[in-house]
Structure 1
Amino acid sequence: MTTCDYSIRLYKDSDYHTVRKLFAEGTLEHTRVAFEHGLSLTRVRLFLVAVFFVPFIITGSLISAIITFLLIFTALWFGTRDLYGSYVRHALSDDMLDIQKYYLQRDGYCFWVVESAGEVVGMVVAIPSSHPGGENHTELRRMAVAKSHRGRGMAKALCRTVIDFARERGCSAVFLGTTVGHQVAHSLYQRMGFKEQHSEFLQHPLAKFVDFKFFFYKYDIPTAKQ
């Protein structure tokens, strides 16, 4: 797929370091939104209030209370960041370790990049869906677009590329998962016709406390009769 200022093509080995960096940075940047979401929860706010007042009551020292609060607040930030970090570390050591073998040498898998002015600035992958009842479905994963190139329709074009890939393979739907911190993605998928199916917590000790969830969406590919 080509537009006036960018094109979507298959992944090449020369893209390896760029796409790994794009994926990692694009995932970790959602930490702030997820952290702010956690801070909006009543239980988290009460916990932080207790973190401040309990040391103050016990020691009578305002400085000790402030230091304790700042330490716990900082730990909560890095804990939230690790929700994304653990996900990134797993991906980089799993499917994104040998991209050529994992995505381009297996039936039903594919990896595309967006190239603009000779630079790789976006990516997306497709895999056979592992969701229950999804034997004839494709899953969209690892989508990322560099900050400097957002707002130009690249994410939408990448999403459409996966949908077209699934349609050509005779699949009936496309699944994807996104986190609470990726609010822009939620809006994009909904505008493109994806419907939210369910949500689940990431397997991480902090996930339930800060309400860190993956939200799963499904796009039903129209049949010829539709």
Structure 2
Amino acid sequence: MADYHIRLYQDSDYDMVRDIFVCGITEPYPASFRHTFSLPRVWILILAVFLLALITTGSPIVSFIAVIMVILVLLLMNRAMFFFYARRCLATDMLDIRKNYLQRDGCGFWVAESAGEIVGIVAAAPFPHGQNQVELKRLSVPKKHRGKGLGKALCKTVIDFAQKYGYEAVVLESSIFRKDSIRLYKRLGFRITGTYHQNHFFLKFIDYLDIVFQYDLS
């Protein structure tokens, strides 16, 4: 028997929900940074910076410092990318969850609770780019609570919600760095319908790829 239950969000949940959301959004940052340094073009950039500094100054020490600066910039930009998105969400739909989800038609926001602690969150809202589709959003389960079926149960909550309200499909978007989430969606029967790069130079440079999934209800 599961030691948790899933219920609708309450205003008293906000602080725990916000913390879970931010931790979940920023969690892929190390994977993103490792991926950045697996790209040949990044190493070409580092080599070019080293050689340019060496030719310009004639100092290997200055050249190594220049390389370290490039690495630090890439590190900080990777980090900023995730935290910028988290701040943007906290200033928009996550600012007032009741207003943006519970008081809007076709939307919902649920939490998984265990022993008085929030151990997972998920939301649903009409997908703006599809006809009669609902988007699974804000799914997050803290690391220490994984392996208990929480992610699966939260996803099925949205699927049941979509079936109840007559949606034709559940869709979601996830980044390539969320390996655990991708495996979960595939196990549940979601199929990949597309991939795309965000329209931002740095995101394209580090090959940040978003994956679109769909679960058909018909």
TM-score, normalised to structure 1, is 0.92
Q: Measure, in 1, the Cα distance between the counterparts of 2:38 and 2:88.
A: 28
Which residue of structure 2 aligns with residue 90 of structure 1? 88
- The CA deviation at 1:159 is 0.7
- The CA deviation at 1:124 is 0.4
Which residue of structure 2 aligns with residue 20 of structure 1? 18
1:55-204 equivalence runs, <5 A? 55-131=53-129, 134-204=130-200
Deviations 1:38-82 (A, max 9, x none): 221111121122222321232222221121111110110111122
- The DSSP-based 3-state class of the residue aligned with 1:107 is coil
- The DSSP-based 3-state class of the residue aligned with 2:62 is helix
- The DSSP-based 3-state class of the residue aligned with 1:170 is coil
Amino acid paired to 1:4 = A
Moved over 6 A (4+): none
Amino acid paired to 2:193 = Q
- The DSSP-based 3-state class of the residue aligned with 1:206 is helix
Q: Measure, in 2, the Cα distance between the counterparts of 1:58 and 1:161.
A: 61
Q: Measure, in 2, the Cα distance between the counterparts of 1:189 and 1:167.
A: 17
- The CA deviation at 1:126 is 0.2
- The DSSP-based 3-state class of the residue aligned with 1:108 is coil
Q: Which stretch shows the higher mean deviation, 41-50 or 157-166?
A: 41-50
- The DSSP-based 3-state class of the residue aligned with 1:140 is strand
- Unpaired runs of 5+ residues, structure 1, are none
Amino acid paired to 2:208 = F
Which residue of structure 2 aligns with residue 7 of structure 1? 5
- The DSSP-based 3-state class of the residue aligned with 1:199 is strand
Q: Measure, in 1, the Cα distance between the counterparts of 2:25 and 2:200.
A: 16
Which residue of structure 2 aligns with residue 36 of structure 1? 34
Amino acid paired to 1:197 = T
Q: Which stretch shows the higher mean deviation, 168-177 or 50-59?
A: 50-59
Q: Percent of pairs identical after alignment?
A: 44
- Unpaired runs of 5+ residues, structure 2, are none
Q: Measure, in 1, the Cα distance between the counterparts of 2:170 and 2:122.
A: 13
- Does the CA contact (< 8 Å) of 1:111 and 1:123 recur in 2? yes
Q: Measure, in 2, the Cα distance between the counterparts of 1:58 and 1:46.
A: 18
Residues paired across the two proteins, number:
218
- The CA deviation at 1:218 is 0.5
- The CA deviation at 1:150 is 1.0
- The CA deviation at 1:4 is 2.5
Q: Measure, in 1, the Cα distance between the counterparts of 2:74 and 2:164.
A: 45
Amino acid paired to 1:61 = S
Q: Measure, in 2, the Cα distance between the counterparts of 1:85 and 1:213.
A: 17
- The CA deviation at 1:105 is 0.4
- The DSSP-based 3-state class of the residue aligned with 2:170 is strand
Q: Measure, in 2, the Cα distance between the counterparts of 1:71 and 1:7.
A: 48
Q: Measure, in 1, the Cα distance between the counterparts of 2:66 and 2:187.
A: 44
CA RMSD of aligned residues (A): 1.3
Which residue of structure 2 aligns with residue 208 of structure 1? 204
- Does the CA contact (< 8 Å) of 1:111 and 1:126 recur in 2? yes
